[in-house]
């Protein structure tokens, strides 16, 4: 199968290879290994984005078709016809087009595919989390209006497409509304990434770990409040934060100020962005408990699979598909409840039996959700959709 792929994350050719962010590049390599040719329709990076393109694709059958620099969302919408010209030019050589979303140009890209069968891979919801954005109210409302408009266009495209979702919530929203709906698990894991141990928390300070965007909607202040409560109760803890800062969100400064006010400035460390792979995974291997306190809806965060694959017990909030996918394998609490999060982390710290049980259950789940396990199923679904389209 000759497959096209579009998403708004940038990539570029460098030294004879296509470079992309690691979480996307690993997926594209896995996809390319199962198709005849992979045509990539991706934007060129802005200068500040180039350091994030940290993964060179290994696949020789993946070709980058640049859509030009990634402008603002209004610019992309106004210039969609010109931007997507490479997709229209290449569509005659494709058997299917896979579009990851939500994405500003998803509806336009689906239309630009013409008669080529389209598959959508939906991994989130633009409408979720608007209220938590660090923006003036007028801007939030403008973003909300765009998100609503984009969701309508996405639904129209889904009604003509194979729709693959990584969220039980999205599945329930779309069930009965689109003709072909499939649930999947998105991941960055390969079978070679696992780090197996029976237990953690064997030394002090015990290390809590959060990885992901430095975004207030991820409940970072709730994690800090749980840490403060546990240290006041006598626990010896430290918190490591690893990930990309969210532009315009001063949450890291707020966290450091709150940690300093509580006398914990030396116990809370931000390590910056780290590439998916050994550079990031070393933090999982050094940690004792993984914490994710998202307040907004999630599809399913890949970081949970990464944590479980590295034998970390997980404390997380009941948002999006988290309870649907890992109930019984993690400590789950309500979003926006730092006291509940404190109790969950405390339970994992103090109860070795519970901790070992969560580690074992998490490892078993993570083994079912590697790229080797999930991508072939996705490709099978797309091939089946192509055959139906041709019938």
User: What's the confidence (pLDDT) of residue 57?
Assistant: 98
Tens of pLDDT, residues 250-309: 999 999 999 999 999 999 999 999 999 999 999 999 999 999 999 876 678 899 999 999
CA distance 172 to 358: 28
Decide the pairing of beta strands 17-20 and 55-56: antiparallel
DSSP string, 111-145: HHTTTS-EEEEE---TTTTGGGSSS-HHHHHHHHH
State the chain's mean pLDDT as an integer: 93
Local confidence band at 34 (pLDDT 50, 70, 90 cut-offs): very high
Q: Per-residue pLDDT for 128 more than 70?
A: no
- Assigned superfamily of 2-186+371-390: Glycogen Phosphorylase B; (3.40.50.2000)
H-helix segments, the chain: 22-32, 73-78, 80-83, 85-90, 106-112, 137-158, 168-174, 220-232, 251-261, 278-286, 302-309, 322-326, 338-350, 352-367, 371-390
CA distance 311 to 307: 7
Angle value at C-alpha 304, between 302 and 310, nearest 5 degrees: 110
Element (H, E) at 291: strand 289-292
Q: Mean pLDDT throughout 323-332?
A: 93
Domains of the chain, residue spans: 2-186+371-390, 191-367
CA distance 111 to 116: 10
Yes or no: say if 299 and 320 are a contact pair by the CB < 8 Å rule.
yes
Q: Mean pLDDT throughout 306-323?
A: 95
Q: Per-residue pLDDT for 140 more than 70?
A: no
Write down the pTM of the prediction: 0.91
Phi, psi of 139 (to 5 degrees): -70, -40
Angle value at C-alpha 87, between 389 and 65, nearest 5 degrees: 130
Q: Per-residue pLDDT for 191 more than 90?
A: yes
Yes or no: say if 261 and 221 are a contact pair by the CB < 8 Å rule.
no
User: What's the confidence (pLDDT) of residue 3?
Assistant: 98
User: What's the confidence (pLDDT) of residue 133?
Assistant: 58
User: What's the confidence (pLDDT) of residue 315?
Assistant: 98
Residues ≥6 apart with Cβ < 8 Å to 90: 4, 39, 41, 65
Q: Per-residue pLDDT for 131 more than 80?
A: no
Q: Mean pLDDT throughout 354-371?
A: 97
Local confidence band at 132 (pLDDT 50, 70, 90 cut-offs): low
Phi, psi of 310 (to 5 degrees): -105, 25
Local confidence band at 213 (pLDDT 50, 70, 90 cut-offs): very high
Q: Which residues pair with 4 in a beta bridge?
A: 39, 97
CATH of 191-367, one of 3.40.50.2000, 3.30.420.40, 3.20.20.70, 3.10.20.30: 3.40.50.2000
CA distance 387 to 381: 10
Q: Which residues pair with 239 in a beta bridge?
A: 208, 268
């Amino acid at each position: 199968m000759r497959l096209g792929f579009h998403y708004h994350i940038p990539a570029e050719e460098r030294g004879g290879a296509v470079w992309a962010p690691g979480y996307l590049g690993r997926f594209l390599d896995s996809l390319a290994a199962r198709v005849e040719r992979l045509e990539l329709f991706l934007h060129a990076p802005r200068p500040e984005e180039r350091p994030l393109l940290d993964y060179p694709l290994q696949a020789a059958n993946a070709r980058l078709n640049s859509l030009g620099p990634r402008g603002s969302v209004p610019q992309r919408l106004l210039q969609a016809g010109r931007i997507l010209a490479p997709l229209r030019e290449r569509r005659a050589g494709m058997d299917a087009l896979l579009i990851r979303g939500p994405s500003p140009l998803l509806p336009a890209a689906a239309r630009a595919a013409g008669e080529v069968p389209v598959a959508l891979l939906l991994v989130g919801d633009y409408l979720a989390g608007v209220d938590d954005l660090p923006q003036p109210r007028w801007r939030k409302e403008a973003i909300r209006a765009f998100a609503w408009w984009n969701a309508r266009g996405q639904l129209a495209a889904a009604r003509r497409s194979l729709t693959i979702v990584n969220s039980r919530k999205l599945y329930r929203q779309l069930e009965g509304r689109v003709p072909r709906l499939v649930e999947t698990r998105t991941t960055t894991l390969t079978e070679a990434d696992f780090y197996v141990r029976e237990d953690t928390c064997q030394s002090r300070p015990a290390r809590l770990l959060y990885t992901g965007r430095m975004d207030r909607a991820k409940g970072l202040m709730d994690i800090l409040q749980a840490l403060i409560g546990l240290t006041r109760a006598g626990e010896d803890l430290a918190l490591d934060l690893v990930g990309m800062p969210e532009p315009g969100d001063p949450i890291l400064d707020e966290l450091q100020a709150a940690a300093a006010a509580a006398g914990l400035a030396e116990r809370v460390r931000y390590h910056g962005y780290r590439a998916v792979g050994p550079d990031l995974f070393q933090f999982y291997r050094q940690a004792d408990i993984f914490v994710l306190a998202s307040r907004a809806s999630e599809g399913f965060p890949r970081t949970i699979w990464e944590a479980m694959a590295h034998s970390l017990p997980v404390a997380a909030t009941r948002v999006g598909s988290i309870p649907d996918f890992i109930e019984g394998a993690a400590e789950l609490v309500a979003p926006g409840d730092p006291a509940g999060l404190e109790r969950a982390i405390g339970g994992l710290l103090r109860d070795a039996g519970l901790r070992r049980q969560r580690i074992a259950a998490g490892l078993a789940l993570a083994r079912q959700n590697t790229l080797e396990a999930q991508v072939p199923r996705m490709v099978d679904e797309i091939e089946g959709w192509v055959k139906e389209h041709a019938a």
